[in-house]
Structure 1
Amino acid sequence: MLTRAADYRALRDGFRWTIPERYNIGVDCSDKHAPDRLALIYRAGDGSVTRYRFGDLSNASNRVANLLTAKGIARGDRVAVLLPQAPETAFTHLGVYKAGMVAVPLFTLFGEEALEYRLKACGARALVTDAASLPKIAAIRDRLPDLDLVLSVDGAGDGAEDFHALMARASDRFTPVDTGPDDPALIIFTSGTTGQPKGALHGHRVLLGHLPGVELPQEFFPAEGDLFWTPADWAWIGGLIDVLLPSLHHGVPVLAHRAGKFDPEEAFRVLADFGVRNAFMPPTALKLMRQVPDPARHGYRMRSIGSGGETLGEELLAWGRETFGLTINEFYGQTECNLVLSNCAGLMDVRPGSMGRAVPGHRVGIVDAEGRELPDGQDGNIAVKAPDPVMFLGYWNNAAATRAKFAGDWLLTGDTGRRDDDGYFWYVGRDDDVITTAGYRVGPGEIEDCLMAHPAVAMAAVVGVPDPVRTQAIKAFIVPAPGHLPSDELAEAIKAHVRTKLAAHEYPRIVAFVDSLPMTATGKIIRRELRARHE
């Protein structure tokens, strides 16, 4: 746990990892706290609210471990979790960890093809889901020879057994499997922004490795009265290990809000109604919330907000200060090695557009393709030095891809960035997102931030498209803000806005108005789809 220091360097230099020889996420997150301590607040789709104590989590996760074991699921077997934010999601994860099995979280938004690919790739033997997702599983089950057991939290049917009925018959006593920090606990599939998703296998230590990167952007989390919520799905590393599991580790209650499509007005109501003090908000959610008029009428009182996945930029930071009375702390990581860079307004200056500095405990640098460190100010691959507790064990059944992820001891993120003289890191773009135009290398982030400052722009994404003179031309895909209709005049105004604010070589020479942008389930823009649209 991070303790406050006089400045960033003192905090960084004084930090030491303490990783125990034996460690289990499930035990850590459900069994060590007082049984009557509040752990989870669940708001169901019908508006009803149920509160769960740590004793409830401990007993329920023991029942899950027992029922899976009784069904023949063994240590090391993969158990897929296809559920929204819900108590059963937490019970299942913790029970799977206690039993030494490997949890595989999956997004409920996935279609049949995406589910089939992931379930086949990891060889899942069991799956826990609900009535909403069950038809998709039923449609592909005959193509999943490894899948022996399907459980539904909404009762039996369509080839699924009744999760709660089996839970009721299982014992709430279970002796956890003895696990070490490097024993497999979790497979999270990458978001697939640059190709087919890969299963990143993590050991139990991944939670401990995340803690400094959660505590720093959440302003030295936990503090008295903290209550954490995110609209991000718990199937994403950002929802699961940036929010749910660290909160349970620290004994901080988590709000589980079962919602469909993200509603920015409802998000403000949730913050106020439940007294949420800490939040992880993806940039996409913040951009939508920015369009809500007079949000202060809801009466929320936030202590900290972290954001990551896409660059925030100056406009969103300024809006956050005005709206919440705090600085939204941007952080950075990826599925294979998460939360390694962060801002913390209470400790250091936040520089708009920067992902912050290296989180204490992580060695982050800028390297070339051979793993040689580059000097400050030079663009290169953002890389993390091994060993590191937060780092993945490897890609599931893909040793070649695992080897390709490293250059010597450096894990290559595949993101291009630079570090300045003060140790702040600046995102340029994915290797294949950087635009080469008229002899300049341009990252999309700065242009998108500038576009977002235009009052007619609700969402924006920028890609490079072939150009016979400039190598590439900059093309902007724009979702108009409410009250603004696409037109040639508006396109020219947007071009002029960027040309004036940035530079002549950075303005989009092509503007296309669209209804929506292609996004991964984690809210990242899929730029390759936009490039394909142009072709």
Structure 2
Amino acid sequence: MTTDKAYEQQVNAFTLDVPETYNFAKQVDVYAELNPSQLAVHWENEAGDILQLTYGELKAASNKWANALQTIGLTRGDRVIVLLPRSLEAYIVYLGLIKAGVVVMPGSEMLRPKDIEYRANHAGATGVIAFGNITSEVDQVRTQCPTLTKFIIVGSEKEGWTSYESLIADQSSEYEAVATRTDEMAFLSYTSGTTGGPKGVVHTHAWPYAHQKIAATYWFDVQAGEMAWATAGPGWAKWIWSPFVSILGKGGTAFVYAGRFNPETYLNLLAKYPIAVLCSTPTEYRLMAKVDNMERFQPKALRSACSAGEPLNREVIDAFHKHLGITVRDGYGQTENSLLVGNFVGLDVRPGSMGRPSPGVNVSIIDEDGNVVQSGTVGDIAVHKDAPILFKGYLNDEVRTGRAFRGDWYITGDQGKVDEDGYIWFEGRADDIIISSGYTIGPFEVEDALVQHADVAECAAVASPDPDRGHIVKAFVVLKRPELASEQKVRELQEHVKNLTAPYKYPRVIEFVESLPKTTSGKIRRVELRAAERDKAR
């Protein structure tokens, strides 16, 4: 039997019967009752400090947190912003919120006051739970967020904040998870758009159920009892995908490294620990593949590796296969869905291809009229509206929700083509969204920050090809006084953007120009600027 035939059988045999009620945390609890002493989370930092949590301890701690939520008045349906780093507490807090039916709003530690204010007010968030290092960002906008009434700090104490540790100290370790309906909101993640503020992506309790049945089973592939390392940090939809739902949902052990990325450190950790499954970003894989004598770092137990966030180039796949004997399997998905296309376990990997559509998910290449195109023809990568992993719309935004669909198809914003064997190949973005090191960045957010500087007349932000990050943010800036253009002004504008919005959005390159290309109606033609950047890179 060829691997492609095995894939066809999987697809043909796949069914998904979503129950009326489901709570992911309850599923984890059931596993914990059967395997209380199994390691659930292994945490380590740069200094070599280690913290661990068994499934039994995870169940008890998240039960205490769920009980604490009741005592402070956070109840089913409330929305809570979570601003936590890679930590044991992240797993406990997420599980406890889900148990209580409270909606999780993931947020990065890199968010700035403006980002937090927008999310809190747009969603009508009731509470925020944060590590001490980001509480000052929240404090700057507390008075501008009238719905925020609960402020919980983790790991320290601060005036105006309630200590997480004190809240759970005297709570019962017994709690029965809420029987949430699968059509209730579970996660509210924010993702960048081409215009306006970030979009609130609504996922219901059916989403983790479907994600486990599809992506976690056929692509991520962690088995019960195995140690798995997914490098995404809390605050991103990808953290919910792999480190959280895929690992805990399959009874695996989550390996968590809280240090800064260093390619040799990552390779050393793979050689030191029995990590069976690795899920990392293309940027991390690219930099690991550049390490001299990579074969020195033979993994202790690695059998499977996958990548997501942006296309992975063939040279990296070849390097891992040659030096470590591992084939890195690329995958494609978005905040609005889950894994749409992937190089699944057992499927022939064609380097450079996204792979084939996920079982149970109708992904096609369509034209501007919503018709499926022939193989080899470039078009929009689209997902049928009935896909079980598709989001339920953008919160409070019927207009942008409507624009995301073309007839019965959700339009991803990416373009691609399908070959005669059903493999999909990425061709590029169809819109102005910038994807850099796996971060999704809207040009509006960068431009909005730049034009708030007194010296900027107008600007445009676009994706510029980069060998390590895939793309970087490049800004074309028209100064009110052109004579001010200098390297010092570049650094000044970069710091200005970092101070106003999450630092990963800042333009790594700024080019001063006299004018910007525009349509007859005055709209900036970013497409023209992007094309010029692509031509320079060739």
TM class by smaller structure: 0.7 to 0.9
Correspondences of 1:88-237 after superposition (within 5 Å): 88-192=89-193, 196-211=197-212, 212-218=214-220, 221-223=221-223, 226-237=226-237
Q: CA deviation at 1:286?
A: 1.2
Return the alpha-carbon distance in structure 2 between the equivalents of residues 295 and 64 of structure 1. 44
Deviations 1:90-115, CA, capped at 9 Å, x for gaps: 11111111111100110112222222
Asked if 1 retains the 8 angstrom alpha-carbon contact of 2:112 and 2:502, the reply is no
Does residue 271 of structure 2 align to residue 272 of structure 1?
A: yes
Deviations 1:304-348, CA, capped at 9 Å, x for gaps:
11111111121111112123311110000111112010003x522
1:295 corresponds to:
294
Counterparts of 1:377 and 1:523, CA distance in 2: 35
Name the SS for the 2:275 alignment partner. Answer: coil
Contact 1:209 1:388 in 2 (8 A): no
- 2:472 touches 2:507 (CA, 8 Å); kept in 1? no
CA contact (8 A) 1:419 1:425 kept: yes
Match of 1:87 in 2: 88
Displacement of 1:462 after TM fit?
A: 8.4
Going from structure 1 to structure 2, the CA distance change for 1:384 and 1:54 (only over 3 Å counts) comes to same
2:50 & 2:111 partners in 1: Cα distance?
A: 27
After TM superposition, list the pairs within 5 Å mapping 1:19-418 onto structure 2: 19-33=18-32, 34=34, 35-44=36-45, 46-192=47-193, 196-211=197-212, 212-218=214-220, 221-223=221-223, 226-259=226-259, 261-301=260-300, 302-344=302-344, 346-418=345-417
Against the structure 1 CA distance between its residues 184 and 55, is the aligned structure 2 distance closer, same or farther, given a 3 Å change threshold?
same
Deviation at 1:525, TM superposition (A): 11
Rounded to whole Å, the distance in 2 between the matches of 1:138 and 1:524 is 22
TM-score, normalised to structure 2, is: 0.78
- Residues 259-305 of structure 1 show CA distances to partners (whole Å, capped at 9, x for unaligned) of 2x322222112222222111111111112222322233344231111
Percentage of matched positions with identical amino acids: 33
Separation in 1 of the partners of 2:175 and 2:122? Answer: 30
CA distance, structure 2, for counterparts of residue 319 and residue 365 of structure 1: 31
In structure 2, relative to structure 1, the CA distance for the partners of 1:29 and 1:424 (3 Å cut) is: same
Which residue type is aligned with residue 266 of structure 1? T
Deviations 1:5-28 (A, max 9, x none): 952111111111132221001111
- Secondary structure, in 3 states, of the residue corresponding to 1:186? strand
Deviation sequence 1:354-393 (CA, Å, 0-9, x none): 1000111111111223422222221111111122221111
Matched to 1:228, the amino acid is: A
The answer on whether the counterparts of 1:96 and 1:103 sit within 8 Å (CA) in structure 2 is yes
Cα gap change, 1:265/1:373 in structure 2, threshold over 3 Å: closer, same or farther? same
Amino acid at match of 1:81: V
Could you tell me which runs of 5 or more consecutive residues in structure 1 were left unpaired when the two chains were aligned.
435-450, 467-514
In 2, the alpha carbon distance for the partners of 1:376 and 1:527 equals 38
CA displacement, residues 210-265 of structure 1 (integer Å, 9 cap, x when unaligned):
222233233xx234662111221122121221232111111111012222x32222
The alignment of Structure 1 onto Structure 2 pairs a total of residues equal to 459
| Aligned residue identity for 2:67 | N
Equivalent pair of 1:31/1:58 in contact (CA under 8 Å): no
User: CA–CA distance in 2 between the matches of 1:290 and 1:95?
Assistant: 38
Change in CA separation of 1:31 and 1:128 when aligned onto 2, cut-off 3 Å: farther
Distance apart, 1:48 and its partner CA: 2.0
Letter in 2 for 1:72: G
Q: Secondary structure at the match of 1:171?
A: coil
Gap change, CA 1:415 and 1:405, over 3 Å in 2: same
Q: Counterpart amino acid of 2:322?
A: E
The 1:331–1:523 alpha-carbon spacing in structure 2 relative to 1, beyond 3 Å, is: farther
**Partner SS, residue 8 of structure 2:** helix
CA RMSD for the aligned pairs? 3.1
The SS at the match of 1:23 is coil
For 1:190, the aligned partner's letter is T
Q: Give 5+ residue unaligned stretches, structure 2.
A: 434-464, 477-493, 512-525, 534-538
Shift in alpha-carbon separation, 1:522–1:366, aligned structure 2, 3 A: farther
Task: Supply the distance in 1 between the matched residues of 2:509 and 2:416 (Cα, whole angstroms).
Answer: 20
Partner of 1:505: none
Cα 1:462–1:125 change in 2 (3 A) is closer
Question: What TM-score, normalized by structure 1, do the two folds share?
Answer: 0.79
CA distance change for structure 1 residues 224 and 142 in 2, over 3 Å: closer, same or farther? Answer: closer
Structure 2 CA distance for partners of 1:458 and 1:360, relative to 1, 3 Å: closer
SS of the equivalent of 2:133 reads coil
Secondary structure at the counterpart of residue 7 of structure 1: helix
Does the 8 Å CA contact 2:224/2:252 hold for their aligned counterparts?
no
Secondary structure of the residue aligned to 2:188 is: strand
Quote the Cα distance in structure 1 between the aligned partners of 2:150 and 2:509.
36
Q: Quickly say closer, same or farther: Cα 1:224–1:147, change in 2 above 3 A.
A: closer
From the superposition, tell whether residues 307 and 194 of structure 1 become closer, same or farther in structure 2 (CA, over 3 Å): farther
Contact 2:62 2:92 in 1 (8 A): yes
Code of the aligned partner of 1:138: D
Q: Whole-Å Cα distance in 1 between the matches of residues 255 and 130 of structure 2?
A: 20
Distance in 2 between residues matched to 1:99 and 1:79, nearest whole Å: 12
User: C-alpha distance in 1, partners of 2:510/2:22?
Assistant: 42
Residue identity in the other structure for 1:29? V
Q: Which whole-Å CA distance do the structure 2 matches of 1:103 and 1:183 have between them?
A: 12
Q: Which amino acid aligns with 2:28?
A: C
CA distance in 1 between counterparts of 2:320 and 2:509 reads 30
Amino acid at match of 2:181: G
Counterpart residue identity of residue 257, structure 2: H
CA distance in 2, matches of 1:404, 1:263: 40
Please give the alpha-carbon distance, in whole angstroms, between the structure 2 residues aligned to 1:83 and 1:285. 22
What's the counterpart of residue 492 of structure 1? Answer: none
Distance 2:194 2:124 in 1: 23
Distance across 2 between alignment mates of 1:122 and 1:423:
40
Secondary structure of 1:180 counterpart: coil
Distance between the aligned counterparts of 2:298 and 2:473, measured in 1? 39
Residues 63 and 25 of structure 1, relative CA distance in 2, 3 Å threshold? same
User: In 1, are the aligned partners of 2:473 and 2:506 still within 8 Å (CA)?
Assistant: no
Structure-2 change in CA distance of 1:521 and 1:48 (3 Å): same
